[in-house]
Homo-oligomer: A and B are copies of this chain.
Amino acid sequence: MLIHLSSWPEIDARLNAGQPLSRTVVVPIGSNEQHGPTGLLGTDWLCPEIIAHAAEQADETLTVAPTFNIGMAQHHLAFAGTISLRPSTFMAAITDWVSSLSRHGFERIYFLNGHGGNVATIEATFSEIYAEWSFVEEQPPFVLKLRNWWDLPGVHGLCSSIFPTGHGSHATPSEIAVTQAAYPDRIKTADYSPRIAPNGPIRDALDYRARFPDGRIGSDPAQASPEKGQRIIDAAVPALLKDVADFAGEVRP
């Protein structure tokens, strides 16, 4: 069930359905930021959306929230089209999503993340949210979990086997392949060099652009294809369903 294409009575019924996943919700979360010379700016929020929606197609008892499409992309701001929240803003927004979803009775909130640069702030936010309860000796009525889609069991290994060289860490062929599978009419090509982009530390936006002139880090995205993307999606869907089910079934200590 996709929340945004459902009515409130449908969500209400779901929450009270007494199924294993009834009170668990998946939030696709990512970023809108440059993805090298050929990648879509939306790559990092499209990937978790594509995988979560495919999982919901496979198992309708999965509840999927709207996509949280703008994250922490400070270091990409020197490339046109990037939109970033400051970490403090990102934290406030995630907090409000959690407050809203918890209000309705969702007890397990699972963030399926598509952007490595989001991880630190999302984890900091979980602590910020929990702190309100920890300072007063209470347990929150919800449990939060963050999972990067590439860390779903089996997915990372598959990506490595498909792209043994030039996978890199930004504008990777695997993430670009996933978007190609879903948006085949938006595939872009470009001459770029070197074939495999350099690596290095990530700092402010101008520093980033100087180190990584076309935006890629360590990657050769031309290896991507829609077929490869579909293979990744096909592996990610059951892994996500299993991971969410495990999370929903965890007994709180």
Q: Which residues of B have CB within 8 Å of A102?
A: 135
Q: How far is the CA of A70 from the CA of B66 in the complex (A)?
A: 9
The answer to whether B80 and A8 have CB atoms under 8 Å apart is yes
Binary flags per residue of A68-102, CB closer than 8 Å to B gives 1, else 0:
11101011011111111111110111011101111
Are the CB atoms of A7 and B99 closer together than 8 Å? no
A202-216 contacts to B, CB under 8 A, are 203-207, 210-211, 215
Q: Are B130's CB and A74's CB within 8 A?
A: yes
Which of the residues B103, B124, B183 comes within 8 Å of A120, measured between beta carbons? B124
Tell me if A78 and B124 are in contact (CB < 8 A): no
Q: Which of A32, A69, A100, A138 has the most CB of B within 10 A?
A: A100
A26 interface residue, CB < 8 Å from B?
no
Contacts A85-B96, A103-B77, A140-B204; A72 near B135 (Cβ below 8 A): no
Instruction: Name 5 extra pairs, CB < 8 A, besides A5-B186, A86-B96, A87-B124.
Output: A3-B32, A5-B40, A7-B37, A72-B127, A89-B96
